[in-house]
Amino acid sequence: MSKKLETQVFGKEIYRYEEVTSTNEVARNMAKEGASEGLVVIADSQNKGRGRLGRSWQSPKGQGVWMSVITRPQIQVQDIPAITLITGLAVCKAIRQTTSLPAYIKWPNDIVVDGKKVCGILTQMSGDASKINYVIIGIGINVNIESFPEELEEVATSLKIEGGQNYDREEISISTLEFLELYYKEYIKVGSLENVLDKYKDLCITLKNQVLVLDDKKPYKATPLDIDKRGGLIVVREDGGKETIKFGEVSVRGIYGYA
Ligand code: BT5
């Protein structure tokens, strides 16, 4: 092992697998059985890796960090998106620390390098309006992938493709867990994103470009203004109206082929 994990809670218990359906699924089953906050599931490959909205996530063997963390935050359901934001920030910092590559966050939670996605995050929760049972934070980082299938070539990249070298997956996962614990604790302590928001905004590429908001009705162009304390993206529409987008899809000019 390259470096020792220096956390108090996250990763104190780690389950490693060669192959699973999805680390989120494995972690969810453990959480249902009462597993503690901080338990981590890591797999070498996933044969049913999941994206958001039922999409799939390519997780080739031995070439990425495919992991999930069980958390049990005592927060309001409407604050769950904040957990995703914190995770994005943690991964972005970890990639920068371990590779020195110019990683940025595409709001809310994709990590991009050179306009392409190197990491996706999937948070899944169980609970109801009165109480959260658990939140599974799933993190997929493309580390040493050399090439992608044609349909992903334009949108996906890996640390190896960008940096021209292999990186240590263990070191990246350790760094991610350390940053995640740091920001998570801060968030829970303060009860809002206040103390981490400036760091997030510094690295948020969505604030630096024009965006296309893909809402249910009709996509519209907007200028990003800020991110609020709950993690919502504040934009100004072309007609001058302000809007806060809580979650959802936003295309950023210059990223994933949006010109
Ligand atoms: C995400 O979804 O970005 C969340 C991905 C979360 C993956 C982790 S891995 C560990 C844990 N266990 C799981 O089963 N999942 C989590 P979304 O924003 O919906 O993006 C999915 C889309 O990204 C797909 O429809 C593809 O277009 C594209 N895609 C698939 N695999 C990719 C990859 N390896 N790298 C970049 N893009 C990919």
Give 219 Cα–ligand 1 centroid separation in angstroms: 23
Q: Is the CB of residue 68 below 6 angstroms from any atom belonging to ligand 1?
A: yes
**Domain extent for 137:** 14-202
Task: Provide the number of structural domains found in the chain.
Answer: 2
Residue 179 shares a structural domain with residue 224: no
pLDDT at 250: 79
The CATH number linked to 87 is: 3.30.930.10
Kindly report the protein residue whose alpha carbon is nearest to atom 2 of ligand 1.
51
CA pair distance 143, 157, nearest whole angstrom:
9
Ligand 1 pocket, residue 88 CB under 6 Å: no
pLDDT (tens, 9 = 90+) of the chain, 259 residues, equals 457 999 999 999 999 999 999 999 999 999 999 999 999 999 999 999 999 989 999 999 999 999 999 999 999 988 998 999 999 999 999 999 999 999 999 998 899 999 999 999 999 999 988 899 999 999 999 999 999 999 999 999 999 999 999 999 999 999 999 999 999 999 999 999 999 999 999 999 999 988 888 876 788 889 999 999 889 999 999 999 999 988 767 787 666 666 5
Whether 7 maps to a domain, the answer reads no
CA–CA distance, 257 with 251 (Å, rounded to integer): 9
Same domain, 160 and 237: no
Measured CA to CA, the distance from residue 111 to residue 89 in angstroms comes to 9
How many Å apart are CA 259 and CA 254, to the nearest integer? 6
Is residue 123 located within the same domain as residue 234? no
pTM of the full structure: 0.96
CA-to-CA distance for 92 and 113, rounded, in angstroms?
10
Same domain membership, residue 214 and residue 190: no
User: Residue with the nearest Cα to atom 37 of ligand 1?
Assistant: 156
Alpha-carbon distance of 147 to 118, in angstroms, equals 12
Query: What's the pLDDT at 256?
Result: 67
SS (H, E, C) the chain: CCCCCCCCCCCCCEEEEEEECCHHHHHHHHHHCCCCCCCEEEEEEECCCECHHHCECCCCCCCEEEEEEEECCCCCHHHHHHHHHHHHHHHHHHHHHHHCCCEEEECCCEEEECCEEEEEEEEEEEECCCCEEEEEEEEEEECCCCCCCHHHHCCECCHHHHHCCCCCHHHHHHHHHHHHHHHHHHHHHHCCCHHHHHHHHHHEHHHHCCEEEECCCCCEEEEEEEECCCCCEEEEECCCCEEEECCCEEEECCCCCCC
Residues 235, 112 share a domain: no
Of 212, 256, 207, residue with least CA distance to 237: 212
Is the same domain home to 57 and 183? yes
Last residue of a domain, one of 167, 187, 202: 202
Does one domain contain both 91 and 70?
Answer: yes
Nearest CA to ligand 1 atom 35: 156
Q: Looking at ligand 1, which residue's alpha carbon is closest to its atom 3?
A: 120
β-bridge partners, 220: 213
Q: Could you tell me if the CB of 251 is within 6 A of ligand 1? A: no
Distance between Cα 57 and ligand 1 center (Å): 4
The atom number, within ligand 1, closest to the CA of 109 reads 3
Residue from 16, 29, 57 to probe ligand 1 pocket by mutation (most atoms less than 8 Å from CB): 57
In a domain, 4, yes or no: no
Handedness of CA 256, 245, 142, 193 (dihedral sign): positive
Considering the domain architecture, whether residues 222 and 157 belong to the same structural domain is answered as no
The number of residues making up the chain comes to: 259
Residue 23 CB–ligand 1 contact under 6 Å: yes
Q: Is there an atom of ligand 1 within 6 Å of 156 CB?
A: yes
180, 202, 224 - which closes a domain: 202
> Separation of 107 CA from ligand 1 center, angstroms?
15
145 and 198 in a single domain? The answer is: yes
Is 8 domain-assigned? Answer: no
Distance from Cα 116 to the centre of ligand 1, integer Å:
13
The answer to whether residues 38 and 79 belong to one domain is yes
Do 186 and 178 contact (CB within 8 A), yes or no?
A: no
What's 231's domain CATH number? 2.30.30.100
For residue 2, what pLDDT is reported? 59
pLDDT at position 1 is 47
Is 10 close to ligand 1, i.e. is its CB under 6 Å away? no
Query: Is 101 inside a domain boundary?
Result: yes
Ligand 1 pocket check for 107: Cβ under 6 Å = no
* Structural domain includes residue 9: no
| Ligand 1 proximity of 41 Cβ (cutoff 6 Å) | no
- Same domain for 167 and 81? yes
